[in-house]
Amino acid sequence: MALLSAVPWWQQQLIGITAVGLWLAALAAVAVQIRQRTNTASTPKREWSRKVVHIGTGAVVPLAWVFGIDRLIAIPAAGAITLLALINHRYRLLPAIEDVGRHSYGTVAYGASITLLLLTLWPEQSAAVCAGVLVMAMGDGLAGIVGSSMPSASWVLFGHRKSVLGTAVMAGASLLVLLLLAALSALLDLGSTPPLTGLMAIALIATALEQLAWLGIDNLTVPLVSAWLWASWR
């Protein structure tokens, strides 16, 4: 699905890298602004900057897909970003990305999951990689924002509060992302996709995995399992 397949390889890669870099820079700037506005707010609102980064980072993989970024560039780049996330987790150079109010390796796990997906599935199964990353980005990201903003029945698992509303948003957003991606794949004739029952199963499994968020491990399990289920479904 490379947008610039007619241009020379190196130009295509340069344009793709530039687009991704500009997107990440804009995302970091927005997160900093949100954190400054919510710095004195309650803990859930102070997490909004992190959730914005969480959601926005999901767009990086579709951008890489559209611009046809080669695995020889995508994998080292994802690994480098994961390493930077680990450094930021340790030293809080950009608090807006790590302002979670609890001990969590979620940001690092998120980067690691993207790196592993690129390593195992890119670019032959680009749609599967997008499925795994977008389910986590949109599903978990929106669940965190909506679930913490509106009251509903809740429970605690491994020290993490989960709510009926947040869980419903996770399931609904995940299924919607999968449906849209499947429709796009069919429209562009990008290969076979899971049937509706398969998409529903992936969304439900992702929602169940999101419940187990100890130390941010769901940022690793949800993308990996969702993508691998998409790729292996026949």
Supply the DSSP string of 105-137, one letter for each residue. -HHHHHHHHHHHHHHHHTTTTHHHHHHHHHIII
- Does 1 map to a domain? no
Which of 8-12, 110-114, 160-164 is predicted most confidently?
Answer: 110-114
Give buried/exposed letters for 70-83 (b at 16+ CB in 10 A, else e): eeeebbebbbebbe
Q: How many domains does the chain have?
A: 1
pLDDT exceeds cutoff 90 at 136: yes
- Does 2 map to a domain? no
Lowest model confidence (mean pLDDT) among 83-92, 98-107, 108-117? 98-107
As a whole number of angstroms, the distance between CA 31 and CA 44 comes to 15
Above pLDDT 70, what percent of the chain? 90
Whether residue 117 contacts residue 224, with contact meaning beta carbons closer than 8 Å, is answered with yes
- Does 50 map to a domain? yes
Q: What is the dihedral of CA 185, 133, 95, 38, to 10 degrees?
A: 60
Closest Cα partner for 116 from 1, 4, 226, 3?
226
pLDDT of 234: 62
- Does 151 map to a domain? yes
Above pLDDT 90, what percent of the chain? 64
Lowest model confidence (mean pLDDT) among 73-82, 94-103, 135-144, 201-210? 94-103
Phi first, then psi, for residue 40 (nearest 5°) are -100, 10
Higher per-residue confidence, 136 vs 5 = 136
pLDDT band at 98 (very low <50, low <70, confident <90, very high): low
The model's pLDDT over 71-96, given as tens digits with 9 standing for 90+, comes to 999 999 999 999 998 998 888 777 76
- Does 131 map to a domain? yes
Higher per-residue confidence, 132 vs 234 = 132
- Does 3 map to a domain? no
Higher per-residue confidence, 200 vs 3 = 200
As a whole number of angstroms, the distance between CA 103 and CA 216 comes to 9
- In one-letter notation, the amino acid at residue 203 is A
Quote the DSSP letter at residue 214.
Answer: G
- Does 60 map to a domain? yes
The model's pLDDT over 145-195, given as tens digits with 9 standing for 90+, comes to 998 888 899 999 887 889 999 999 999 999 999 999 999 999 988 888 999
Domain of residue 21 covers 9-232
Average pLDDT over residues 123-136: 96
Whether residue 8 contacts residue 61, with contact meaning beta carbons closer than 8 Å, is answered with no
pLDDT exceeds cutoff 70 at 45: no
Three-state DSSP class for residue 35: helix
- In one-letter notation, the amino acid at residue 126 is S
CA dist list (Å): 23 to 20, 29, 218: 5, 10, 24
